[in-house]
Chains A and B, each alone.
Chain A
């Protein structure tokens, strides 16, 4: 699975949204209905999936699906 596919799967699982909703420009809070607890868990799920640590400052900048993809790709 590509990074995009893995991230998409995590978002679908965690936020209970459909695959069509997970567009690169979609905002986690505004478009995908995430609250602060959801965001924390989303970050944790990505850390686990990709075996990385995402510090809090970085995590706060991950607002859209494309932010997450770019961040993970950059880390790898």
Chain B
């Protein structure tokens, strides 16, 4: 089936490494960690007391104080990132094209902080003290809703929710909408802000979070390392402007990469654990490669899901070997979460942005904290730091609870 060619014409992010893309990318390439002690609430009683927090974010830089007050933090991130993205893309959204510009974002959990605040209010003060803003603040699709209000985009407007693959799925469906001719451009990616008492306690109860390095936060996220003991919760956003090639060329837009494949699968296996042989992960990677019509050998960089949990990193490695065979050892595999922590529903968005940056700049960011190799994780994870290397194809992986797997394939744009 042939459809429209889809390209990336804008990028934006708010991450634990910086409140804009340029700062985040610079720190990522420099191998700096954005992880530190939790400051959003008193975490002294928690077994995991560290996080990749976004620091010093001022919503009023992007929106009036009154509107900011009516938004959960994840929606504030979405509005700020959406505005930065539209600016970066140079796309003018006006009466002529607004209905052809969609907003399709991934959100894993939504307004957890809002739920916590108003549940407390409900219990302490009764049912008549719950704010009329509670529901519009907490629902996950208020992220694209508010982005459309602030940017004027009037095309399809929705969220995808698939746990830690939410952002990746959003990009996949944004790509599909443009491919099918439903939209000329889509503001897409992922956003999340759940470093809250319920978020941290819930993931702690699942034994998913790192607890061994509370006193050395920058050492806690260590994908593919033998001493890894869980992920570090993070927050933030990563948005991409996807656009049809014809629309991008007609307006003379800068093109950062081409989107050439999307693959998704379900494990049909376990609530939280990935399939032990990485079968679902492999199926999703293969589907993205097949859709692009390339050979596995053409892929030279993987932006891995790489959460720093024992199971993910092991299963993802097995899946990569299954898909790529002997070529697996040639692929430069990077783990952004070693520096940012796990941005949950925003992960696929942020990592998609960094995947495209690797294609655009010819720099592959390294992975930090892989000091003692796990003998079963024996590929090239870029443990030596960032490298000047021009990839042709980047595969970006996201996997989530529920056994959901999603991969996007990006191609270098040569102009």
Tell me the minimal C-beta distance from A3 to chain B in angstroms.
Answer: 21
> A16 — which chain B residues lie within 8 A by C-beta?
64-67, 69
Segment of B125-133, B205-213, B270-278, B385-393 in the binding face: B125-133
In this complex, what residue of B is CB-closest to A43?
A: B132
Binary B-proximity of A14-53 (CB < 8 A = 1, otherwise 0): 0111000000000000000100010011001000100000
Q: Report how far A76 CA is from B136 CA in the complex, Å.
A: 34
Interface of B is mostly: helix
> B131 — which chain A residues lie within 8 A by C-beta?
41, 44
> A37 — which chain B residues lie within 8 A by C-beta?
132-133, 136
Q: Report how far A16 CA is from B136 CA in the complex, Å.
A: 18
> B133 — which chain A residues lie within 8 A by C-beta?
37, 41
B132/A15 in contact, CB under 8 A:
no
In this complex, what residue of A is CB-closest to B125?
A: A48
Residue total for A at the interface (Cβ-Cβ under 8 A): 9
Binary A-proximity of B131-150 (CB < 8 A = 1, otherwise 0): 11100100000000000000
Binary A-proximity of B49-74 (CB < 8 A = 1, otherwise 0): 00000000000000011110100000
Tell me the minimal C-beta distance from A35 to chain B in angstroms.
Answer: 10
Residues of A within 8 A of B (CB): 15-17, 33, 37, 40-41, 44, 48
Residues of B within 8 A of A (CB): 64-67, 69, 125, 128-129, 131-133, 136
Q: Given A16-B66, A41-B132, list of 13 further CB < 8 A pairs?
A: A15-B66, A16-B64, A16-B65, A16-B67, A16-B69, A17-B66, A37-B133, A40-B132, A44-B128, A44-B131, A44-B132, A48-B125, A48-B129
